[in-house]
Structure 1
Amino acid sequence: RALSILGRSSAATREIVVLTDRQAEAWKTTDTAAWLRFDDLLKLPAVRPRIWVMDTSTGLSQLSHNIAVGQLELSRELTVPGFPLRLRTMVRNEADTETAVTIRLLLDGQPLAGRTQNLRIPPHSATSVEFEHALREAGSHVLSVEAESANDEIRADDSSHAAVRSMPSLPVLVLNGAPSVNPEQRASFFVQTAFAAVEVGEPWVAATVVDADSATAADLRNQAAVVCCNVSRLTPAFAAALEQFVRSGGGLLIACGDQLTPIEFDACFRNAGMLGSIQLSRIRQSAPNAADRVQVAPLSIQPGWLERFRSDPGRTFLKSDFLSWAVLSVVKEAVSRPAGGDTTAAIPQSPAVLATLTTGDPLLIEATHGEGRVLLLSSSLDRSGNDLPSRADFVPFLHEAVFRIATARSRRNVPVGEALIVAVPQGAPDPLAVDLQSESSQFDVLLSDGQTVQVPAESSGAELRGVIRQTNRPGVLRTTFRIAAQQGAAAADPAAHNSTDAFVVNYDHTEDLFQSLQGDDRARLATNERVRFTESLEELQQRMYGDETTTELWTLLMFGFLGLLVAELLLTRRVIL
């Protein structure tokens, strides 16, 4: 960027000053190709700029002992009470000796009983730490992993946080593509049964079952996700409403059955714009009495929410037999950024194959559409295409899938500098009952440094949203949605109109790597005077300006001109005399 700016300059001398510390990670000294490209860029300007690198950490002592907790990886940001949540992180030991470390899991700042691990981490290495916890109460919570060790020199990186939202139950619309008088013959039978499988309390998923050909846009109201069970026919009005639902942040799970032909797949989903880069070519069936059973290829399962189904070879998900499935393929398309420079808009991503069958055909594809997420299962969710519904892993797989697609709009954990979108959370007043034209609604945001800022709440569909741009410091942010009392309205309890929520801003944890630039690395960077290292501001000034004279050329010319005028005056006087 600096080279681009100086390339448009007409100055005779051009300087770039880089302020840095001892950390070697950001310099990427082993990326030879990147530095060769940088060398080519240096040759472009008519006047080659000089690049100075000043070490701002000069005078600071070297760190001899530090334990750092990496960024938390959650299985999902949205959950329900009682549904186990998994989180993982890396704990790094930046010391010359093996270190004993105590790791604790905290919920809203309080240590959880029985969630402690005692580790011994080798020098200059990292160890993976995993926890599993089921929240008991609905609401917005912050999970934290904290490390404790003796003689730790930096305490700021001893803990890492992640925000989670727990709701009483997840509202899901199930579209039945095979209506029947006999419930067991409906394509949605096993899905409905799996969602209702709860011994006590509320079900984790509140399912509403509707026949696909009679579904209307009103059925999508207040739903978090939609599950299509062998759906081959949708009305044009509902297909348009479904596309808008997904684009606005809703989730969609499509299970392909024997009724879904390529033409019907295009009519229901591709032509609406939701799956433009995915093609269904045909329905394939396994050979009768084949010696090789068609199952899930274990090594094809990608890390993430599916990892629990590949971690144990004995999982019944891997033993499921598939009799028929749709042959799907991903068509590569150009990915463009949102117009208008909107930093809060989602950038389209290419579909990803999360799992394949032993035949090599994709089994599960994940795609994004607008702010929403789509999962495409190439087989059915009933026993017409496989025996997965009769396996023990069917219920957890289905729950993990719907929670995966329902969390697309939930961005509670963002990197530093990324705008954070906050909406009226569960438990707040109905946004439709609020006067959206008034300026009485706002979000009070408590930043990680203790300051409070106000963000106006604006109408966005059926909810109120605010954009938090003060995310330049990592830490936990807490928001409170407030509705000011309307003029002439009856007095009410303020707490009834307030709702709190939690978010986390994460920093780049490569900053926890304190390995400094060594002599060989510095020499490689300084090859052909690519960069010049300095240790202090005085040295920088001396080397940058030390060989330049303080006398300007224009002063010499001025004195010379005055001398000529004096000489001319003297000669004129002599001629006259």
Structure 2
Amino acid sequence: MGFLHGILLFGAAAFLIPLIIHLLNKRKVVTVRWGAMHLLHEVIRQRKRKMKIEQLLLLMIRIAIPIVLALCLARPVLTALRSLGLGSSSLVVMLDDSFSMRAPAAQTTLPGGTVLEQARQDVQNILTDLPSGSSAQVILSGGSPRKLMDKATTSLDLVPKQLSDVPSMSGPLAANDAFQAATSALKDAPNAAREVVIISDFQEADWKAIADGAALPALENLSKQEPKPQITFYRVGSDLAENLSIASADVSALVAAESQPIGMRVRIKNHGKRPWQDIPVQLEADGARLRTARVSLAPEGEAMLSFTHAFNKVGDHSLSVRIEGDSFADDNAFHSIVQVRNQLNVLLIDGKPGNEPLSGATDFLDIALEPHTVAAASLKDLIRTKKIDVRKIRNEDLRQQEVIIMADVQRLQGHTQNDIDKFVKEGGGLLIFAGPECDLDWYNREFFRKGEGLYPAAIKGQARADADEPAARILMQRFTHPSALYFNDARAGRLQDAEFRHWFEFVPQGDQTQRIFNLDRNVPLMIEKKYGRGRVIASATTANAEWSNLPLQPFFVPLMQRLTTYLATVGSAPAWQLVGSTIRLPLDKAELGSEFTLRDPTGQTQTLKSVKEGDSVFVQSPAISQPGIYQLQKTGTEKVSLLAFNIDGTESNLKALPVADIQKIAQRHDAAYADTLPSYQALDRTRRHGSELWQPLLIALLMLLFAEVLLQQHIARG
């Protein structure tokens, strides 16, 4: 027996009220002698006995009323009815629909099917065994956990039907977020008996850290709920142990000029124990196969391949790489979009022009952004720069520009600052380099404006490494910013070779800013901020060699070009996105209400309509569930935008967590473990589930009140 609101049981102490009233109302007997009294002694004795019984019965009823009322409010739970088939329960299924669940199921369970199909079948069988009146909810746990239905349902036959319509290409399992969603679902559970079943293939990629002792606070909170839910870890597995995947594919440029060669560096991973020989690797452009290379992979080894290709037509183009050979092909392709442009216009605002070569604040930038033009080479540069002294800038200079780069600018005049502010809000990109001429007070007061201005962060001051100290260097870590992904491979350049003697100390603004690079002094080197429809990137060092040797490094050219092209394309779709995310493209305000056609890789189409949110107009799709190249076309126009979606390869290593480790997690949280449907059904039969008793107690309370009234009237009639 348990109680949902045990503290209300103290209300049962109200039974003392009728008892005390009864005791206080007892009267002392006064004897009056009367001659004929002896004739009535027997009648009085019998009547007195009857009155005592009636009064005692009335007292017991009045004492029972507050006790039953307190029990009713405390909502008692009896834990012995489910074994008799009488107790309904509320079931929450945490169903792993992550990428690895698409692997082939074990041949003994569902030959030819996937692990997720096996899991869906088991969910249907579990729901069939629930008693009448039970409710169910499903939390889809891959990627961003979400509820299958808006609320729990007692129409259990609807759940398998809805599950069959849910795509299964989500990202890695987010265990803690999924348990939070399950906890939220249980708060609305209509039955006191509560069950949570975690159905997953328990990949090491998702669960290893938890098995090693990592905290899982959401599960701890779930297990502390009252009444305590019965938690079961249910494993569905695959026999597949060997798998090849494309671990990454980095494109050398986000935007390219016509006929400019584009490089794609591909990393192929063998996640199994067997070697692979002569695996074909195919390069495709705009859906057509261009060439095939072959690689061999050692057990748990990887290989790198590089391809180049040039597009000779302006517009969006797809570039894909694909491998063949293994039985799990979902992670065997990678897709990217390359924008081919005539040119990209960049305005360089020089805060300290120089009279000598390479002495100005923007001289190195000019060379890095137009290397072929400076070298008088025959190759065409995508970027076209226009350099101007900050003291001579006019509003007309900003027209037709896509990116503005400021270097060592002391301050901006009011009208210029307003023009640049408007430029970024409308989708332009701004890159700001520090320098000794910068007025820190103005930057903080007028440019940063407590987080409301253009500048991404407050400046604490200027820091330096003295001559007898080692210079600061870029902290080497896994870069996640789109402009920095290319430098995760050391062959793109050794970023740690750059030495910094002076730099600004930024004060990052939490969620408002994103760090692109950090120095090894635990301070940011470059940070980014979203501003309107555009982006602003601030560098803590100079664009010339005055504070560092960064411009002298071989990687300075690709770094500046990637930062610039990134800022120039923030208003368009990224080179690729993960499956599970949505398409969301900003539009001009005049395009509000326009219709677009979205075509998926299989040729299926759907119609999207642009909408408005605040001051922004955009077109947005539902979550994408299939990798590949998508086409988005505005109705009535010929322009087609290409979008690429890839799977998250975190779970490409199909190695499952050992059963002992799963059981260890379960035991730590007082949960059960099952790995087959019969074992789960046996477990379900042996443990008891709760059933609330407040309904019959409420009926009993009403009966007591009715009995109290009848008995009181009977006593009054004498």
TM-score by length of 1: 0.72
Aligned mates of 1:253, 1:538 — CA distance in 2: 62
Unaligned residue ranges in structure 2 (runs of 5+): 1-180, 700-718
Aligned mates of 1:383, 1:64 — CA distance in 2: 53
* TM-aligned CA distance change 1:56 to 1:39, over 3 Å: closer
Task: Indicate if the aligned counterparts of 1:482 and 1:499 stay in contact, CA closer than 8 A.
Answer: no
Equivalent positions of 1:168-317 (< 5 A) are 168-178=342-352, 187-194=361-368, 195=370, 196-197=373-374, 199-200=377-378, 202-216=380-394, 219-266=397-444, 269-271=447-449, 273-279=453-459, 281-282=461-462, 297=473, 300=476, 303=479, 304=484, 307=487, 311=491
- 1:365 counterpart (490, 501, 526): 526
Q: Which residue of structure 2 lines up, in the alignment, with residue 15 of structure 1?
A: 195
Q: Which residue of structure 2 lines up, in the alignment, with residue 331 of structure 1?
A: 507
* TM-aligned CA distance change 1:397 to 1:83, over 3 Å: farther
Q: Which residue of structure 2 lines up, in the alignment, with residue 338 of structure 1?
A: none
Aligned mates of 2:198, 2:680 — CA distance in 1: 11
Q: Which residue of structure 2 lines up, in the alignment, with residue 148 of structure 1?
A: 324
- 1:4 counterpart (181, 184, 189): 184
Task: Compute the displacement of 1:241 (Å).
Answer: 3.7
> Percent of counterpart pairs with the same letter?
21
Task: Compute the displacement of 1:498 (Å).
Answer: 1.1
SS at match of 2:228: coil
SS at match of 1:266: helix
Q: Which residue of structure 1 lines up, in the alignment, with residue 59 of structure 2?
A: none
Q: Which residue of structure 2 lines up, in the alignment, with residue 403 of structure 1?
A: 565
Q: Which residue of structure 2 lines up, in the alignment, with residue 133 of structure 1?
A: 308
Q: Which residue of structure 1 lines up, in the alignment, with residue 599 of structure 2?
A: 446
Aligned mates of 2:477, 2:687 — CA distance in 1: 63
Task: Indicate yes or no: 2:706 matched with 1:526.
Answer: no
Task: Compute the displacement of 1:524 (Å).
Answer: 1.1
* TM-aligned CA distance change 1:133 to 1:273, over 3 Å: farther
* TM-aligned CA distance change 1:361 to 1:228, over 3 Å: farther
Higher helix share: 2
Task: Compute the displacement of 1:174 (Å).
Answer: 1.5
- 2:243 counterpart (66, 75, 86): 66
SS at match of 1:72: strand
Q: Which residue of structure 1 lines up, in the alignment, with residue 654 of structure 2?
A: 514
Aligned mates of 1:236, 1:334 — CA distance in 2: 28
Q: Which residue of structure 2 lines up, in the alignment, with residue 476 of structure 1?
A: 629
Larger radius of gyration: 2
Unaligned residue ranges in structure 1 (runs of 5+): 336-347, 425-430, 484-496, 559-577
Task: Indicate yes or no: 2:290 matched with 1:112.
Answer: yes
Task: Indicate if the aligned counterparts of 1:416 and 1:507 stay in contact, CA closer than 8 A.
Answer: yes
* TM-aligned CA distance change 1:531 to 1:409, over 3 Å: farther
Task: Compute the displacement of 1:158 (Å).
Answer: 1.9
Task: Compute the displacement of 1:54 (Å).
Answer: 3.6
SS at match of 1:521: helix
Paired residues, what number?
503
- Deviation per residue, 1:90-129 (Å, 9 max, x gap): 423244321122333322233334x62x333233x24152
* TM-aligned CA distance change 1:92 to 1:318, over 3 Å: closer
* TM-aligned CA distance change 1:460 to 1:236, over 3 Å: farther
* TM-aligned CA distance change 1:263 to 1:310, over 3 Å: farther
AA partner of residue 420 (structure 1): I
Aligned mates of 2:661, 2:550 — CA distance in 1: 55
Task: Indicate yes or no: 2:297 matched with 1:121.
Answer: yes
AA partner of residue 320 (structure 2): S
Aligned mates of 1:200, 1:499 — CA distance in 2: 31
Aligned mates of 1:228, 1:552 — CA distance in 2: 70
- Deviation per residue, 1:350-404 (Å, 9 max, x gap): 4343456xxx597941322335444434444346656766776654443233224
Q: Which residue of structure 1 lines up, in the alignment, with residue 155 of structure 2?
A: none
Task: Indicate if the aligned counterparts of 2:455 and 2:538 stay in contact, CA closer than 8 A.
Answer: no
Equivalent positions of 1:26-65 (< 5 A) are 26-28=206-208, 30-35=210-215, 37-38=217-218, 40-57=220-237, 62-65=239-242
SS at match of 1:51: strand
* TM-aligned CA distance change 1:456 to 1:200, over 3 Å: farther
* TM-aligned CA distance change 1:217 to 1:41, over 3 Å: farther
SS at match of 2:378: coil
SS at match of 1:28: helix
Task: Compute the displacement of 1:452 (Å).
Answer: 0.5
- 1:422 counterpart (556, 572, 585): 585
* TM-aligned CA distance change 1:214 to 1:514, over 3 Å: same
Task: Indicate if the aligned counterparts of 1:298 and 1:310 stay in contact, CA closer than 8 A.
Answer: no
Q: Which residue of structure 2 lines up, in the alignment, with residue 98 of structure 1?
A: 275
Task: Compute the displacement of 1:445 (Å).
Answer: 0.6
Aligned mates of 2:497, 2:298 — CA distance in 1: 38
Q: Which residue of structure 2 lines up, in the alignment, with residue 498 of structure 1?
A: 638
AA partner of residue 529 (structure 2): T
Task: Indicate if the aligned counterparts of 2:456 and 2:513 stay in contact, CA closer than 8 A.
Answer: no
**CA RMSD, aligned part only?**
4.3
* TM-aligned CA distance change 1:318 to 1:382, over 3 Å: same
AA partner of residue 243 (structure 1): D
Aligned mates of 1:134, 1:255 — CA distance in 2: 33
Task: Compute the displacement of 1:331 (Å).
Answer: 1.7
Task: Compute the displacement of 1:499 (Å).
Answer: 0.8
Q: Which residue of structure 1 lines up, in the alignment, with residue 105 of structure 2?
A: none
Aligned mates of 2:549, 2:209 — CA distance in 1: 52
AA partner of residue 353 (structure 1): F
SS at match of 1:142: strand
Q: Which residue of structure 2 lines up, in the alignment, with residue 164 of structure 1?
A: 338
* TM-aligned CA distance change 1:106 to 1:531, over 3 Å: farther
Deviates further, 278-287 or 199-208? 278-287
Task: Indicate if the aligned counterparts of 1:246 and 1:369 stay in contact, CA closer than 8 A.
Answer: no
Q: Which structure ranks higher in relative contact order (CA pairs < 8 Å, sequence separation ≥ 6)?
A: 2
AA partner of residue 567 (structure 2): I
Aligned mates of 1:49, 1:309 — CA distance in 2: 48
AA partner of residue 306 (structure 2): F
* TM-aligned CA distance change 1:81 to 1:15, over 3 Å: same
Task: Compute the displacement of 1:458 (Å).
Answer: 5.6
- Deviation per residue, 1:283-323 (Å, 9 max, x gap): 86976xx8x8x87737658753573996488x8x887787x
AA partner of residue 475 (structure 1): G
Task: Compute the displacement of 1:228 (Å).
Answer: 0.7
* TM-aligned CA distance change 1:186 to 1:71, over 3 Å: closer
AA partner of residue 639 (structure 2): S
Deviates further, 98-107 or 457-466? 457-466
Aligned mates of 1:7, 1:321 — CA distance in 2: 56
Task: Compute the displacement of 1:15 (Å).
Answer: 0.7
AA partner of residue 15 (structure 1): E
